[in-house]
Amino acid sequence: MKKKSNNNSTYVSTDLIDRKWIDVNIPCRTACPIMTDIPGYIQAIMEGDYETAFRINRMDNVLPGVLGRICNRPCEPVCRHGRDGLGDPVSICFLKRSAADFGMRNFKPDIKPIDKKVCIIGGGPAGLTAANDLALKGYRVTILEQFDRPGGMLSCGIPQFRLPYDVVAGDVKSITDLGVEIKTGYRVNNEAEIEKLKKEYDAVLLAGGCQVAKVVDIPGIESPGVYWGLDFMIAANRGSPGIGNSLVDSSMKKVVVTGGGFTAVDCARMAYRLGAKEVALAYRRTKDDMYVTANELEAMEAEGIQLAFLVSPVGIESKEGRVTGISFEHNRIDKSDRTITPIAGSEFLMEADSVIFAIGQEAEEEIIKEGSGKPADNFFVAGDFRSGASTVIEAAADGRKAGKEIHRFLSHSEGYRDVVTIFEVKETGRERAYDFIDRQPMDETPLHERRIKDKEVGLGFSKEKSLIEARRCYLCHYNFQIDIDRCIYCLACIDVMPLDCIMMSKDIRVDKDGNLHHIKTERWDEMQAITIDNDKCIRCGNCVRACPVDCISISKYTLAPHAWGSVEAAAPEAKKESFK
Amino acid sequence: MKYVIIGSGAAGVNAAEIIKKNDSKGEVVIFGDERFFPYNRYQLTDFLCDSIQQEELFYISPEFFKNIGVEFRKGQYVKAINPEKKSIRLFHNEVVYYDRLLIATGGRPWLGPVLLPYKKHIRRYYSLKDICVLKKKLPHIRKCIVFGEGLSSLDLLCGLNKSGKEVTYIVKGVKPEWPLVDPELCEELCQLQKKEGIKIITEDRITTIEKEGKHFRVLTLKQRELTADIVFAWDNYKPKISCIKGTGIEKKTGILVNEHLETSVEGIYAAGDCVEIYHPGLKNYWINYGWPNAIEQGEIAGLNMTGQEKTYQVHETIEFNLMGKSLKARWWK
Amino acid sequence: MKYGELSIRFCGIAGDGIVSSGKILAAACAGIGLQVMVNDIYSAEIRGSGKSTTTVRFAADKVHSMGDGIDLLVGMAAKESIAEVKDVKHDGTVIYDSGTPGDIEEESSLAAHIPPEIHGCCIPLERLANEASGTNRGRNLVAVGALCFIYSLPPDMFINQIKAVFSRKGEKIVETNIKAFRLGYLYCEEHYPLNHEFEIKEGAEPRRLISGNEALHKGALDCGLHFFAGYPITPATKIMELAAKELPKLDGWCIQVEDEIAAISAVVGASFAGKRAMTATSGPGLCLMSEMINLAVMAEIPAVIVNVQRGGPSTGLPTKVEQGDLNIALYGASGDSPRVVMAPTDSEDCYSGIQLALDLAEKYQTPVIFLSDLFLGQRYETADIKEEIDRRRCTRKKPTPEQLEDYLRYRVTDDGVSPLIVPGERGAIYTITGLEHTVKGTPNYEAEVHTIMTAKRHRKFESMKSELPRADILGDKDAQIGIAGWGSTIGAILEGMGIARKQGVKSKLIKSIMIHPQHESSFREFFASCKRIIVPEMNYQGQYAALLKTRYCIEPIEIHIPAVDPVSPGKISEKIMEAHHELSK
């Protein structure tokens, strides 16, 4: 259903085809677990409006400063600019950081209070996002945080050289500004305590994350000098007594880290900063299987950390109460199912005085038993605690999902539906020359200063650089269409197309999922229309400029602001219709 | 049956010949990304020093491919492989279909994340093109900086030294090391270089290169500041296998193959410097760089691609390669 | 590699800017004092995806022909360029586009058809053009930039030419085209740094490029052409276009009429009224004109008919070259109908030749058929034209006052030429008719009158002969192998002779712009001094050879090339070598 609003050039739609158009055509937004309006904020940066850029981010993903630094960026690999022959993806993540660096403002929306109380256990990304969304709805939200500062993994599991604590604090403050209360140093240990909270509050959300390191049981694992990744990280970050101090004081020279995720890489880089002379990272699979972004890998390699792949630890050697090395065996990777099997007789020893295992984390099992959180109940679970260790953005997305569940539970509403707003425009504000700008590199702390423990490595874009980088974005939220009633089939657009994005079509089929299929033809007698394949289209505007009869329209497709509170407000009639 | 070979080095050319011998009806196409006919890489420094002429570098005649019935497409770069469609995509977007594919792309000096941003200031010393360009520049340069390991660094140092240039050599380790069987030879070479006036900086690496007028300003990790007219730098020598991205072909540093030199994707084989294989003797995965291995693997891959079955035997010791031999002769000349 | 001479071909389809690329390259080379020749070949269809090529050949010394083979092929359209690869010399280069959208299949890929002896140069023309201009236009300039680097030609000269060619389209177009050129240059510098050297002599004077048709037009205007009538036909249209632009400025007339019959009629009429008049057409047009040409013969009215020959009988091959109209020019008329036939061999000849043609037509009161051809008419070359400007020139024989007393339009004279005055002048009362006539011009069918008048009309040609300069003998005077050629084939012959000479075989050439009548003793002496005579020409019948055989009783080796492309010098040298081997047996 499409409906024209008061403004002649704006429509709102709940039509599946329009919703699907966004999924197919704005790949970055679709890839983002929390569906951040990426072209929206990049366009705002392009126009120099950092405040709007920040606001769009703040609405969608709640933690722009944090995610602008340490997001694992599922958006960038799917960026249209990175497709074959088109160059490199837009630096979406760094631009998000620029939005926060230059556009962060107090966020003061109008909130109608609701006299219902929600308790959230865990002040990490999932908990914070849920708290934000519920607070915007008007609920009174309290977060219980076990550590002395909020942020969960953000403030203790991620090293400050990647994410300074100030940034976390800034993003958290913008949530507490909405009236969310955070009780620090409050740990919920078991089901009984949860039961108590369930009575005290209208709803309870457990977003406790994955705080327990996965362990391996190999000979010598108990030796002094063996650490578990997360513990090592927390200790190094917070300098907790015992492990922390001894770590910093210890004379770690040769460190071997095993694991292939962010924590492993963070541990290796932290060890380098703590003074280790030689640091190696060993992973049982291959580099491609590592669950980290390319730039983390590059930074690690630049810092001189050695990499070993297809190796699994089999034992720890120690002498006089101190680790002296770790032995590994090589793995073979099976070609059919990619499982790994050790190669018999391939054991070898790597010398080390410290060994860090960072092979994953799990939720604390003893807090709740399986099967808790039934639908009728007022107890909810979210984030890594629900789905296992993942990324910040996935945890935040899950927090949002939980927030919606809680809202539905407390308000007895039936649901809501995505609404697409469509604005007709004359031009996109981009120039063809922008398509040829190279991806802007971000300045980094020089290598000789990388031993400084808490010094942030990524320095962010300057304003100028962020403007240049923002111009690179194709702004895929623009939909280019040829009005076949006015088209004179002159093919002027085909003459100037930059890719094979415009064609003579004999048919466009829409399948049940809303996907469009252009059936191309070379024959004039079969041709029904000249069509633009928006999936291939890079929004360069060449066709619009070349069209002699001005029959190519441009319209901007956006999802109504995703802070779901406003969905009904944007299109009340849409809601009614869709739930008949 | 259509056989496509990516890479026109020793492995690729040898494989083509073997395939054609075993399957005379098969169509064989070789893609080489350089604009030259196959040449002897280990003689490049001799060419740089004018000891030999460019023509002497080419080890096969232009008629060779015609005679054996192989299509040779030079100067054409393969950017991607699509195993599902059994096709490769070239730089200019041409799609070529294959029934059997051999990847024999060899190795390249690789800049690494630190040097990559300065790519345009860095000269490579690897291909005939590099040497031809260097030859043009050579009369206009005096001070050179070399940073990088491997036998080609030895070659380069020798070439520059023989041309009377002022050379500074930077190495990451405590002393220069080259992959030569004989450790004494390394030491001997090192002494000789010092005697010849090559300045050696150890335990350091280049972190920044800036252009200043006609010169380059080089900063190192240890905050040394050097200037030069030309900078040669690479991080390490490694297989050049960017074309397998997204194919599901398993790799470590090189392409992982089984004992028949088949990769993890059926119908795709690999041979030569781009191959990494587990070596029971070394108890490690291993890339056997060098000419003799390329020839041997090319032959085995070729046989297996035509339906024969031949197993690659990993050698107990690393072969002393030709480059090393010629190099020794060159330094003591 | 070092080059002293280069041949570069652009191949593409309509809209690729093939012709303008050739123009810029040629003009840039001429600007640094090089000798240049440019040949465009395009399909007959006015619009659509027909293939077109431009070949530019340049060297420090005079370029006589397009030569054999090319050093560089710029494949702007991949599919169309595949057929051109065979012309690329070993160690030559092919530039192909890596920046076009969509997949390319092997069979339509230019790169797939480049044999290993030829270097491929893969440049993202389309992508760089987009970077420069925002659209695909400018791909050609990217390629020009690339080749400028590949052969280390001076970029400044190119940039000047780009400015000159595009300035009328506005500042922005000039700017984007220069940017496209730069991007191509820089791309090659980065990716194909091993460039060639082209040897350029320092301080050479800039040269001027001119096409045969342009030279012809200019020559005609400079000697007082006053009236032009024509009907457009490829490849002669350019002459009319220029006349339409330039003649009115000089108080002359240019009219486009409904067909070729009207055109020649108007020319004959204008000439009858005392003006220097000319038309230009091609083979099919000449057919239509033949009746009126015959009238001009009979009525003894000056007229110049330029025939820029193209291929085939009937409409034939409108955009390809052939020398097949010699017979119609010589013999295509009823009755004993003599006319002057001339054939220029290069642009310089076009300039001076057309002046001679107009002079002869007026002086001898006869039509002159001027046989240019497509290759000569359309190619651009650096020509050293000695300008002779005399717009008041008149070669008409005027009557003496006594003759005017009793004016006889067709007075029988010793030289066959009757004094001529224009109707309207005092005493100019006479009849003209296509019927046989008396000295007064009144129709008469007596045998005696016809005999006298026919003889008179032919006597003019005998007089003309005595006035003709000797034919040019080129090459080694003492050679035993002689070649007789005509028209634009001469260039290829000269070059073929050069190739043979490099292999130690001498030869010589007799070249005459006059086909009929000719300075016959030059020919007789030349043929007498040769042991072998070769007559190459671009037609199937050997039309010139037939003329020479009957006229001079020789037995030449004939080379008949029903041509669609200009003759290859290699083919000529081959024949010279063959003749040489036969002689030395």
The residue extents of the domains of chain C are: 2-207, 210-382, 401-467, 472-583
Min Cα separation C206/chain A (Å)? 37
Give the Cα separation of C54 and C504 in Å (integer). Answer: 33
Per-residue confidence (pLDDT) for residue C340, from 0 to 100:
97
Q: What is the CATH number of domain C472-583?
A: 3.40.50.920
H-assigned helices in C468-568:
489-502, 520-528, 543-552
Q: Are C306 and C239 in contact (CB under 8 A)?
A: yes
Q: Residue C50, class by beta-carbon neighbours within 10 Å (0-12 exposed, 13-18 middle, 19+ buried)?
A: middle
**Closest-CA residue to C146 (of C105, C187, C100, C207):** C187
Give the Cα separation of A133 and C557 in Å (integer). Answer: 98
3-state SS assignment for residue C5? strand
Same domain? For B98 and B116 the reply is no
Min Cα separation A499/chain C (Å)? 4
Tokens 């050069």, residue located: C498
Residue of B78, B114, B277 for testing the chain A interface, max A β-carbons within 10 Å: B114
Which H helix or E strand runs over A394?
A: helix A392-411
CATH number for B298: 3.50.50.60
Last residue of a domain, one of A327, A362, A397: A362
Which residues of chain C have a CB within 8 Å of the CB of B96?
Answer: 106, 112
What letters, b where the CB count within 10 A reaches 16 and e where it falls short, cover C443-468? ebeeeeeeeebeebbebbbebbeeeb
Residue A219: asked if its preceding bond is cis (omega within 30°), the reply is no
Which residues of chain A have a CB within 8 Å of the CB of B258?
Answer: 335
Same domain? For A255 and A304 the reply is yes
Q: Are B32 and B12 in contact (CB under 8 A)?
A: yes
- Could B256 and A84 be called an inter-chain contact, meaning their C-beta atoms sit closer than 8 Å? no
For C103, the closest of B93, B132, B133 (CB atoms) is B93
Task: Give the lowest-confidence range in C15-19, C189-193, C364-368, C408-412.
Answer: C15-19
- Structural domain that includes position B72: 2-106+240-318
Chain A residues within 8 A (CB-CB) of chain C? 85, 431-433, 435-436, 495-501, 540, 542, 545-546
For residue range C446-476, what is the model confidence (pLDDT) as tens digits? 999 999 999 999 999 999 998 898 999 999 9
Per-residue confidence (pLDDT) for residue C49, from 0 to 100:
62
For A499, the closest of C101, C131, C135 (CB atoms) is C101
* A294 inside 8 A of chain B by CB: no
Q: Are A461 and A94 in contact (CB under 8 A)?
A: yes
- Could A546 and C131 be called an inter-chain contact, meaning their C-beta atoms sit closer than 8 Å? no
The DSSP annotation for B138-152 comes to GGG--EEEEE--SHH
Per-residue confidence (pLDDT) for residue A579, from 0 to 100:
31
Q: Has residue A516 been placed in a domain?
A: yes
Same domain? For B162 and B308 the reply is no
Per-residue confidence (pLDDT) for residue A124, from 0 to 100:
92
Output DSSP code: residue C207.
-
Same domain? For B185 and B281 the reply is no
Mean pLDDT per 10-residue interval, chain B, length 333 residues: 95 95 95 92 86 91 91 94 95 95 94 92 92 91 92 85 91 83 76 87 93 94 94 92 92 93 95 92 85 90 93 66 51 51
Residue of A nearest to B89 (CA): A84
The structural domain count of chain B equals 2
Same domain? For A337 and A249 the reply is yes
Checking if the pLDDT of C46 tops 70, the result is no
For residue range B261-307, what is the model confidence (pLDDT) as tens digits? 999 999 999 999 999 999 888 888 988 888 888 999 999 999 999 99
DSSP tally for chain C: helices H, then strands E: 19, 23
Same domain? For A358 and A221 the reply is yes
Tokens 């000569």, residue located: C376
Q: Which two tokens stand for residue B330?
A: 């060159």
Residue A275 is which amino acid?
G
Q: C47: which residues sit within 8 A by CB, 6+ positions away?
A: C14
- Structural domain that includes position A47: 32-105+431-472
Same domain? For B24 and B139 the reply is no
Per-residue confidence (pLDDT) for residue B173, from 0 to 100:
87
What letters, b where the CB count within 10 A reaches 16 and e where it falls short, cover C395-433? eebebeeebeeebbbbbebebbbbbbbeeeeeeeebebe
Q: Has residue A158 been placed in a domain?
A: yes
Chain A, 428-467: which have a CB under 8 Å from a chain B CB? 441, 446-448
CATH fold for the domain made of C2-207: Pyruvate-ferredoxin Oxidoreductase; domain 3 (3.40.920)
Give the Cα separation of C585 and C151 in Å (integer). Answer: 44
Residue of B nearest to C125 (CA): B92
**Closest-CA residue to A529 (of A492, A564, A503):** A503
- Could C98 and B75 be called an inter-chain contact, meaning their C-beta atoms sit closer than 8 Å? no
Same domain? For B221 and B244 the reply is no
Last residue of a domain, one of B237, B268, B291: B237
Min Cα separation A432/chain C (Å)? 5
Same domain? For A511 and A563 the reply is yes
Which residues of chain B have a CB within 8 Å of the CB of C116?
Answer: 37, 62, 65, 72-74
Q: Which two tokens stand for residue A493?
A: 């657009």
Chain A contact partners (≥3 CB pairs within 8 A): B, C
In this prediction the ipTM stands at: 0.91
Mean pLDDT value of segment C106-120: 93
- Could B94 and C96 be called an inter-chain contact, meaning their C-beta atoms sit closer than 8 Å? no
Min Cα separation B252/chain C (Å)? 29
Q: Which two tokens stand for residue A277?
A: 């002379």
Output DSSP code: residue C290.
H
Min Cα separation B95/chain C (Å)? 6
The structural domain count of chain A equals 4
Last residue of a domain, one of B179, B208, B237: B237
For residue range C512-532, what is the model confidence (pLDDT) as tens digits? 999 999 999 999 999 999 999
For B252, the closest of A298, A310, A347 (CB atoms) is A310
Per-residue confidence (pLDDT) for residue A237, from 0 to 100:
81
3-state SS assignment for residue A403? helix
Residue of C nearest to A87 (CA): C127
For C96, the closest of B72, B92, B132 (CB atoms) is B92
Which residues of chain A have a CB within 8 Å of the CB of C179?
Answer: none
Task: Give the lowest-confidence range in C101-110, C157-166, C523-532.
Answer: C101-110
Q: Has residue B65 been placed in a domain?
A: yes
β-bridge pairing A203-206 and A117-121: parallel
Checking if the pLDDT of C42 tops 90, the result is no
Which residues of chain A have a CB within 8 Å of the CB of B223?
Answer: 448
Min Cα separation B329/chain C (Å)? 30
Per-residue confidence (pLDDT) for residue B326, from 0 to 100:
52
Give the Cα separation of A323 and A221 in Å (integer). Answer: 9
Q: Which two tokens stand for residue A487?
A: 């088209």
Q: C171: which residues sit within 8 A by CB, 6+ positions away?
A: none
For A335, the closest of B117, B222, B250 (CB atoms) is B250
Q: Does C472-583 match C2-207 at the fold level?
A: no
Same domain? For A530 and A487 the reply is yes
Same domain? For B244 and B233 the reply is no
The mean predicted confidence, pLDDT, of chain B is 89
How large is the C-alpha radius of gyration of chain B?
A: 21
CATH number for A534: 3.30.70.20
Same domain? For B58 and B174 the reply is no
For B93, the closest of C100, C116, C192 (CB atoms) is C100
Give the Cα separation of A198 and A459 in Å (integer). Answer: 44
* B245 inside 8 A of chain C by CB: no
- Could A345 and B222 be called an inter-chain contact, meaning their C-beta atoms sit closer than 8 Å? no
3-state SS assignment for residue C99? coil
For residue range B190-233, what is the model confidence (pLDDT) as tens digits? 888 888 889 999 999 999 999 999 999 999 999 999 999 999 99
- Could A330 and B278 be called an inter-chain contact, meaning their C-beta atoms sit closer than 8 Å? yes
Q: Which two tokens stand for residue A77?
A: 């690999």
For C130, the closest of A495, A498, A546 (CB atoms) is A498
Min Cα separation C15/chain A (Å)? 10
For A348, the closest of B112, B223, B283 (CB atoms) is B283
Q: Are A3 and A422 in contact (CB under 8 A)?
A: no
Q: Which two tokens stand for residue A549?
A: 């009869």
3-state SS assignment for residue C468? coil
Which residues of chain A have a CB within 8 Å of the CB of C131?
Answer: 433, 435-436
Q: What is the CATH number of domain C210-382?
A: 3.40.50.970
Angle of helix A92-103 relative to helix A50-61, nearest 10 degrees, comes to: 110
Residue of A436, A497, A503 for testing the chain C interface, max C β-carbons within 10 Å: A436
Q: Has residue A27 been placed in a domain?
A: no
Same domain? For B115 and B231 the reply is yes
The DSSP annotation for A488-510 comes to ----HHHHH-SSS-EEEEEEEEE
CATH number for A259: 3.50.50.60
- Could A332 and B251 be called an inter-chain contact, meaning their C-beta atoms sit closer than 8 Å? no
Q: Are C565 and C86 in contact (CB under 8 A)?
A: no
Same domain? For A242 and A342 the reply is yes
Q: Which two tokens stand for residue B140?
A: 């206009």
Chain B contact partners (≥3 CB pairs within 8 A): A, C
pLDDT in tens, chain A (580 residues): 556 555 567 888 888 788 888 988 999 999 999 999 999 999 999 999 999 999 999 988 899 999 999 999 999 999 999 998 889 999 999 999 999 999 988 877 888 898 999 999 999 999 999 999 999 989 999 999 988 888 888 888 899 999 999 999 999 999 999 999 999 989 888 888 888 899 999 999 999 888 888 888 899 988 888 999 888 888 888 764 444 444 554 678 899 999 999 999 999 999 999 889 999 999 999 999 998 998 899 999 999 999 999 999 999 999 988 899 999 999 999 988 889 999 999 999 999 999 999 988 888 766 665 544 454 578 898 888 888 888 899 999 999 999 988 988 898 877 667 788 899 998 898 988 899 999 999 999 999 999 888 899 999 999 999 999 999 999 999 999 999 899 999 888 988 888 889 999 998 888 777 777 888 888 888 888 999 999 899 999 989 999 999 999 999 999 875 444 434 433 333 333 333 2
Which residues of chain A have a CB within 8 Å of the CB of C130?
Answer: 432, 435-436, 498
Which residues of chain C have a CB within 8 Å of the CB of B129?
Answer: 193-194
Which residues of chain B have a CB within 8 Å of the CB of A338?
Answer: 250
